[in-house]
Structure 1
């Protein structure tokens, strides 16, 4: 078991394995240990898997139903099986986003942030270690969720599903990258606001409500603003069909948002008292 002294010194032996490290590696090892010692992490990831299963099944069966009912205006035809999982991530993302926010806001709520900053007094290093651990957990989690959603969507779509291993592999990888970046972005929001409720509200507004409202606006300028928001950029990055800009541009916009919020979070963390 990792002791408090080991974590404070920036060293961690992990789960029974030898070795030690300091600096950023030690801070990241400490954050990794803290994250996986919480039951909320396991429950959150399990909840995300359950929600992905449910959402993918609903989206797949709804697509099949729309294609076979008497109304022709809602027909979608044959769709990508893995694309269903990509569509489901719009809602599923809020479970790992909540976990990412709690990585920092829970410590402010319990006063644990003071101990964390005593163990890792370089504040940028501490927040950077949290971001690295969040990304390291949510990227593979996102890929697993995409695989699960694809597996569930296939039977639900039946003959209306089109599966390509190449497309599925790309979708799985893209979902992992998107989820990692959006969770780092959300971690930064949590570090700036220091409130779980406030950060969740801000994340929900920025990732869902504001893009939805702006994209449906009759004013072209507002629709362009919507396309520049992080979740919209992420959708364009993950989408197979052409969008307002290439997928790579969507990825760069998403990276820029995550980096900008993390820079702001580090500045706030350095200026404020814990």
Structure 2
């Protein structure tokens, strides 16, 4: 005797929204994305490049601090600097290798056509995107914490007497770096899902994070400065740096989260409305 599955049940199982199938379906999708990520050789090269770039940037930043403290102009003296502050300044450069990793999670599949196989195995596009987001956020958070710790470790011997290592503050700075990289990577994943192009994604993210704030900043206009302070890269830096100018760290974090969510919603809309 055959059993017929009601049409409404079939449609419900196949359709799935952004949070559909959170039980076995999402776990399987996450496991699949995790396996795909670590099976790509370029990911490992990317992680190595991230570590090398972070170490080089932290070493150079520490040298700047020492030189400014030991030159003949007392106006340049930044004084004793926390190791975590050096890591925060250094990640502004090293972040682009992590951004490239997040971008490739989606754009590489469009470039090779494997996105079709992904969507055949997991028809719910919302579930696919949610799984990719979970993997990207988790991996880049851990990578960010390791990079923050690496930057602090490299800066320590270079700074010498001009460096300080408050344990709680340094741990907080490292976690702030990790949080920033995780959120900016999710933002990148959303942009990549919407644009589908590696070049287009990298260009767009680079423009939003670096070029636009720099270009608008030279205008030195109060209204324009407020716009700049709301951009994701600037908001993330204010969050990591702490302080209350121009707003508390919590506001910077909220702005960064808002950018990440907006990018993911745009990516989800594009993923749903277009063919693979």
Give me the TM-score of the superposition, normalised by structure 1. 0.91
Which segments of 5 or more consecutive residues in structure 1 lack a partner in the other structure?
Answer: 1-20
Establish whether residue 182 from structure 1 lines up as the match of residue 184 from structure 2: yes
Match of 2:44 in 1: 42
1:109-154 deviation digits (Å, cap 9, x = unpaired):
1101111100111111101110110011000110000000000101
Alignment of 1:137 with 2:123, yes or no, is no
**C-alpha separation in 1, matches of 2:144 and 2:220:** 34
Residue deviations 1:186-234 (CA, integer Å, cap 9, x gap): 0111111110011000010011111122233221111100100011111
Displaced runs of 4+ in structure 1, greater than 6 A?
Answer: none
- Tell me the distance in 2 between the aligned counterparts of 1:272 and 1:83: 44
For residue 126 of structure 2, what is the aligned residue in structure 1?
124
Partner-residue secondary structure (3-state), 2:76 = coil
Distance in 2, Cα, partners of 1:218 & 1:42: 41
SS of the residue 1:45 aligns to: helix
Equivalent residue for 2:211, pick from 205, 209, 212: 209
CA distance in 2, matches of 1:67, 1:267: 52
Whole-angstrom distance in 2 between the partners of 1:219 and 1:108: 41
Deviation at 1:242, TM superposition (A): 2.8
Pairwise mapping of residues 1-274 of structure 1 onto structure 2 (< 5 A)? 22-274=24-276
Rounded to whole Å, the distance in 2 between the matches of 1:211 and 1:74 is 25
Q: Deviations over 1:226-254 (max 9, x none)?
A: 10001111111111333211111111111
- More displaced stretch, 110-119 vs 214-223: 214-223
Q: Deviations over 1:70-128 (max 9, x none)?
A: 23332211111111001101010000100101110011111011111001111111011
List alignment gaps of at least 5 residues for structure 2.
1-22
Matched-pair contact (CA < 8 Å) for 2:243–2:249: no
Question: Do the aligned residues in 1 keep the contact of 2:80 with 2:164 (CA within 8 Å)?
Answer: yes
After superposition, the CA RMSD in angstroms is 1.0
Greater RCO (CA < 8 Å, at least 6 residues apart): 2
Separation in 2, partners of 1:104, 1:171: 29
Work out the CA distance in 2 between the residues paired with 1:265 and 1:108: 13
- Number of residues of Structure 1 aligned to a counterpart in Structure 2: 254
For 1:90 and 1:247, the matched residues in 2 are separated by: 17
